[in-house]
Amino acid sequence: MHTLNLGILAHVDAGKTSLTERLLHTAGVIDEIGSVDDGSTQTDSLALERQRGITIKSAVVSFAVDDTTVNLIDTPGHPDFIAEVERVLSVLDGAVLVISAVEGVQAQTRVLMRTLRRLRIPTLIFVNKVDRGGARGEAVLRSIAEKLTPAVVAMGSVDGPGGRDARCTAYTGADTGFTDRLTELLADHDDALLDAYVENAAPLPYGRLRQELAAQTGRALVHPVYFGSAITGVGVDALIGGVRELLPASGGDPGGPVSGTVFKVERGQGGERTAYVRMFSGTLRIRDRLPFGRGDGRAEGKVTGISVFDRGSAVRRAEVGAGRIAKLRGLDGIRVGDPVGAPDRAAPSRSFAPPTLESVVVPCPPASRGELHFALAQLAEQDPLINLRQDDVRKEVSVSLYGEVQKEVIQATLADGFGIGVTFRETKTICLERPNGSGAAYEIIDQNGNPFLATIGLRVDPAPVGSGIAYRLAVELGSMPFSLMRAVEETVTETLRQGIHGWQVTDCVVTMTHSGYWSPLSTAGDFRNLTPLVLMSALKQAGTTVHEPTHRFRLEFPADLLGPLLPVLAHLGAVPGTPAVHGSACVLEGGIPAARVHELQQQLPALTRGEGVLESEFDSYRAVVGTPPDRPRTDRDPLNRKEYLLRTVRRVV
């Protein structure tokens, strides 16, 4: 049996979960199709998923197609849970992108397709809901070619769209219009095929076209488009045939070194962790010792249980080999994103923007603060991007967010899973700081009021946008014991989480210029305590600029409303481009601060007579105009030497 790990992705409400149910029913895994509205589907198992009718956590089910076992991963469609989608992308062999025939290409659809193409994940497109009123077959196909990619070809036609009797007819080699379109599309990516197409007077053999279609789909060069309805089942057989024929099965050597990636972590009723792992190489057996994690956080545990997915459920097995997805038990401390086995796979790059919002979580009653931190730490194991930020000064904890719906999910999870009631403070935008120039500072042992047995000099220099933080040495590596060197480097990273204005500092190079210690009196604690004072002195000299997240927006509205709309956009801090007028419609693109997107969405209906359509997505960080926002500090404030020393050594030197 071959294995195919298949992701189902879409904008919210396009019908992903309904399609998953239909695929399982068609494959004979379930006898009755569940309903998203009734909360009876196989993959939406959380109570909140059933209440809201949306997918929040990715879920894995499986079914068989001929000699292929398909592990199907249903992912969230709401943009607040894009991190869950990102974790799944790293384990996929192929994907089905679902688009509603009624709503067409939407904002999240475009984000997902761009990412799938960038990662070169073989992708089929399924235009769902052809039976719904307002379904548009050809119009949606044109929109896909215009907004997503021109490298698409319809694999069939829709008869009677917009009604329950809608039917889908698959094209065959006898359809000359289809074979001509297919030949032209494939020839764009294959010179040999182009030469044969130009030189031969007769059409190319249909078998060769299908073979080339599978090859180019497998390389993510072209994207076949299927039409159908998950509710009625129309067109689903053709889609299943396309999955079997056109998407590549998993690779990997079962006899090679064990290597895999954790894309999901759950906790059982007893608190034990279960890790969902995609195996890329090797064979893992129960009772094997398995290393996992990265760098200094690398650990090892004994596998006490293995389950693989088979015909809709997880089945216990004694081993799991390359290409499969397994649930592993016994690995205490394992986290989402951890590599397992041989650490030869590069750390995955970010596919989507990080969260740009944050909010303080307030326990009810306040006395449950300790229980809240424990519960949030467990949630962070499952979703590291919520990024707990502990404020020991104010005894508060905040979480990073993608949106307001995520607040509701965290609130419900804490109440249902841990019995903790919480509220949230006002949501605020997460900014960052970048150095304006270079700055340097140093402190010498036993000089100028330095109370620590450490000599440290640091220089801060700006670095290219997107480069992050780099640490370098301008002193001899052997000038101090390694433990003291390491203490400085680790503290530099920790200290830069709060810059001059309290935001994370990034895109800089920190260089150690001075070092010294007294043996055997100096300790790592001396260097950890002195580093923040030196680093923040250097950073103050360099100066920083606060940057706020901005979204790229696309606004479609009646052209006669352009004049009244422009002042509103200017008031919101938006920077529009040149408007494009097409008849009575106008399209305007530009940038807008992320913090003002929600405000624009609220005002849009009144501004555009209810006809405006807004699409937005994270674009970049840009310098704040005017007074930069400050974020309350959560540390001992090394910007204030007197206060810092009082808190650190209980005296001022």
Question: For residue range 323-353, what is the model confidence (pLDDT) as tens digits?
Answer: 999 999 999 888 888 899 986 555 555 556 7
The per-residue pLDDT of the chain, averaged, comes to: 88
**Mean pLDDT, rounded, for 56-60:** 76
Domain boundaries, given as residue ranges, for the chain: 2-246, 259-341, 357-430, 548-623
CA atoms within 13 A on the CB side of 393: 9
**Mean pLDDT, rounded, for 11-29:** 86
- Same CATH topology for 357-430 and 548-623? yes
Closest C-alpha among 596, 592, 587 to residue 551? 592
**Which are the contacts of 50, defined by CB distance < 8 A and separation ≥ 6?**
39, 40, 44
- Residue with the larger pLDDT of the pair 74 and 104: 104
Residues 428-471: pLDDT tens digits?
999 999 999 999 999 999 998 999 999 999 999 999 998 999 99
pLDDT for 496 equals: 97
pLDDT band of residue 621 (cuts 50, 70, 90) is very high
Cβ neighbours, 10 Å, residue 296: 7
The residue type of 445 is: I
Task: Supply 470's token pair.
Answer: 């780099």
pLDDT for 386 equals: 83
Strand ranges inside 353-413, DSSP E: 357-364, 389-391, 396-401
pLDDT at 223 over 60: yes
No. of helices (H) and no. of strands (E), the chain: 16, 35
Query: Of the given ranges (125-139, 207-221, 356-370, 627-641), which has the lowest mean pLDDT?
Result: 356-370
Residue 96 gets which letter from DSSP?
E
Class of domain 259-341: mainly beta
Long-range contacts of 167-175 (CB under 8 A, 24+ apart): 167/234, 168/130, 168/226, 168/227, 168/228, 168/234, 168/235, 168/238, 170/238, 172/206, 173/206, 173/209
The residue type of 106 is: Q
Residues 469-517: pLDDT tens digits?
999 999 998 899 999 999 999 999 999 999 999 999 999 999 999 999 9
pLDDT at 322 over 80: yes
pLDDT at 372 over 70: yes
pLDDT for 47 equals: 54
**Mean pLDDT, rounded, for 125-139:** 93
pLDDT band of residue 521 (cuts 50, 70, 90) is very high
Torsion of CA 277, 282, 283, 287, to 10 degrees: -80
Task: Supply 407's token pair.
Answer: 């607040």
Task: Supply 564's token pair.
Answer: 């009244």
Phi, psi of 378 (to 5 degrees): -70, -40
pLDDT at 174 over 80: yes
- Residue with the larger pLDDT of the pair 564 and 194: 564
Highest mean pLDDT among 296-310, 328-342, 526-540: 526-540
pLDDT band of residue 406 (cuts 50, 70, 90) is confident
pLDDT at 38 over 60: no
Q: 2-246 in CATH: which number?
A: 3.40.50.300
pLDDT for 112 equals: 87
pLDDT at 245 over 90: yes
Pair 129, 135: CB distance under 8 Å: yes
Class of domain 548-623: alpha beta
Helices (H), 503-554: 524-542
End-to-end CA distance of the chain: 73
pLDDT at 613 over 90: no
Query: Of the given ranges (258-272, 415-429, 444-458, 514-528), which has the lowest mean pLDDT?
Result: 258-272
pTM of the predicted model, to two decimals? 0.78
Domain 357-430 architecture: 2-Layer Sandwich (3.30)
Query: Of the given ranges (146-160, 297-311, 374-388), which has the lowest mean pLDDT?
Result: 374-388
Closest C-alpha among 601, 384, 629 to residue 502? 629
Strands 167-170, 273-281: parallel, antiparallel or unpaired by DSSP? unpaired
pLDDT for 511 equals: 98
